[in-house]
Amino acid sequence: MSTRVVITGLGVVSPIGIGVPQFWKAALEGRSGISAITSFDPFPLEGYRSRVAGRILGFSPEQYLPAGQGDRVDRYAQFALVAAKEALADADFRMEREEPHRVGVIVGAGMGGMVMGEREITQLYEQKRPHRVHPNFIPVITLNSASGIVAMTYGAKGPNLTISTACSSSAHALGQAMHAIRAGTADAVIVVGADASITPLVFAGFCSLRALSTKYNETPERASRPFDRGRDGFVMGEGAGALILESFAHAKKRKARMYAEVAGYAATSEAHHMVIPREDGEEVAITMRLALKDAGVTPAQVDYINAHATSTTVGDAVEVKAIRLLFKSRADKLAVSATKSLVGHTLGAAGSLAGIVSALTLTSGQIHPTLNLDDPDPACALAGLSAQPQTRKTKVALINAFGFGSNNAAVVLKSLSA
């Protein structure tokens, strides 16, 4: 039997709260983290079709990190540091007691250091002074800057990887961390998902792709509405989630509190289209099935799905089609929730937030509401979706995550009391 992998610590930076207790309370209360974008100074706001986002307003790293720690990295990596710090403390994971080369860091990030990236590119092209490009530009925009700074901060010398598969990045980070521990190359892995790219260029790019919600600019908290008939695109969010994964034996030895087991994972490609999913849902169904098989559970044992559910017209419908394909009559018995209805689409952080939500659901039996489900779309209706919080006994949770580049991931968590 392969090594069991467990989650022992959680950390969150999100538009509805920094810190797991704040985040989870807000999630169960169904609070929206979506607000209006009132300025992209100096760019004219009318040039942006969408003007809503799940932003973390007023964040400064000094509030959460020792002086200087977040100074030389971009906003997304600052989020990563804050989330990792909380998760390590939550797990009571002390590096001084660990063999450093047995502790890895795996980060999922879709966009990376775009705040500085955009600023430096703009300055170079406007001022045409190449010698004035900041010396820290390359280290900051290099996509593994977050996994690097987390490892440096804590002295984690094991496998240090960054996975960038757009919106599914940190679901793969979870899965790859599970693989590393199963393979015996690490006792523990600090898993982080992070992105902070609600920046003038990236946001404009998603507008041009016509992927974002544009109908709710005057009522931002209504814009992210997965599975609702009125959905019209996703809402960009930002944030980070961190999870400490350990082998069961390692966690048990140090008497760690265990939230849940990371029991299965699947990674597939639809090999279909850069941004459009296969409409029949078959590839998504296969991905879920492979993850369940890896976890040694049957579809009949699944209680809860944390859906990818970005609030796009086709995406949500495809996901439900896939759920129906795989789960058949059980599809309507599953509890389902869409975390993006609360915080928007945090891109690289999304999978890690889904992991945190699922771990908390497995330990508490509480399922956060899916916001704005005012008029459920028959094309993607599931009986277990609710605008109200639910309480159900949950032993097996399934996380879906899909990314541009025809990328799919599914992760299975199991309750340890199962």
If the CB atoms of residues 20 and 207 are measured against other proteins, the closer one turns out to be: 207
Residue 138 binds other proteins (CB under 8 A): no
Residue 348 binds other proteins (CB under 8 A): no
Sites for other proteins among residues 291-310 (CB under 8 A): 310
Residue 209 binds other proteins (CB under 8 A): yes
> Which residues are CB-neighbours of 302 under 8 A, at least 6 positions away?
292, 327, 330, 334, 396, 397, 398
| 354 touches 401 (CB < 8 A) | yes
Q: For residues 236 and 196, what is the distance between their CA atoms, to the nearest angstrom?
A: 10
| Least distance in angstroms from the C-beta of 106 to other proteins | 22
CB-hemisphere CA count at 13 Å for 258? Answer: 23
| Least distance in angstroms from the C-beta of 231 to other proteins | 7
188-195 and 239-247 as β-strands: parallel, antiparallel, unpaired?
A: antiparallel
Q: For residues 396 and 302, what is the distance between their CA atoms, to the nearest angstrom?
A: 5
Interface segment toward other proteins; rule CB under 8 A; list 14-22, 148-156, 187-195, 396-404 = 396-404
Binding mask 273-292 for other proteins (x = CB under 8 A): xxxxx---------------
CB-hemisphere CA count at 13 Å for 385? Answer: 26
Return the residue of 30, 404, 416, 418 that touches other proteins, per CB under 8 A.
404
Return the residue of 157, 182, 215, 330 that touches other proteins, per CB under 8 A.
215
Alpha-helical (H) ranges within 183-273 are 200-208, 248-253
Residue 211 binds other proteins (CB under 8 A): yes
If the CB atoms of residues 160 and 310 are measured against other proteins, the closer one turns out to be: 310
> Which residues are CB-neighbours of 58 under 8 A, at least 6 positions away?
none
Residue 403 binds other proteins (CB under 8 A): yes
Binding mask 36-55 for other proteins (x = CB under 8 A): -----------x-x------
Interface segment toward other proteins; rule CB under 8 A; list 230-238, 331-339, 383-391, 410-418 = 230-238
Place of tokens 């931002």: 220
Residue 106 structure tokens: 């795996």
Interface segment toward other proteins; rule CB under 8 A; list 75-83, 204-212, 257-265, 366-374 = 204-212
- Helices 114-127 and 200-208: crossing angle in degrees, nearest 10, is 100
If the CB atoms of residues 71 and 280 are measured against other proteins, the closer one turns out to be: 280
Return the residue of 231, 289, 321, 395 that touches other proteins, per CB under 8 A.
231
Residue 232 binds other proteins (CB under 8 A): yes
If the CB atoms of residues 53 and 150 are measured against other proteins, the closer one turns out to be: 53
| Least distance in angstroms from the C-beta of 374 to other proteins | 18
| 146 touches 73 (CB < 8 A) | yes
Catalytic residue among 73, 82, 167, 297: 167
Residue 3 structure tokens: 């090594």
Task: Verify whether residue 167 is a known catalytic residue.
Answer: yes
> Which residues are CB-neighbours of 18 under 8 A, at least 6 positions away?
12, 56, 59, 64, 82
Q: Tell me, by CB under 8 A, how many residues bind other proteins.
A: 30
Q: For residues 75 and 78, what is the distance between their CA atoms, to the nearest angstrom?
A: 5
Q: For residues 317 and 314, what is the distance between their CA atoms, to the nearest angstrom?
A: 5
Classify residue 125 by burial, with Cβ atoms within 10 Å: 0-12, 13-18, 19+.
Answer: exposed
If the CB atoms of residues 246 and 270 are measured against other proteins, the closer one turns out to be: 270
Number of residues that this document lists for the chain: 418
| Least distance in angstroms from the C-beta of 290 to other proteins | 18
If the CB atoms of residues 208 and 298 are measured against other proteins, the closer one turns out to be: 208
Return the CA Rg of the chain.
20
| Least distance in angstroms from the C-beta of 397 to other proteins | 22
Alpha-helical (H) ranges within 183-312 are 200-208, 248-253, 282-295
Return the residue of 217, 313, 366, 386 that touches other proteins, per CB under 8 A.
313
Applying CB under 8 A, which residues contact other proteins?
Answer: 47, 49, 166-167, 208-211, 214-215, 231-234, 273-277, 310, 312-315, 345, 402-404, 406-407
Active site residues: 167
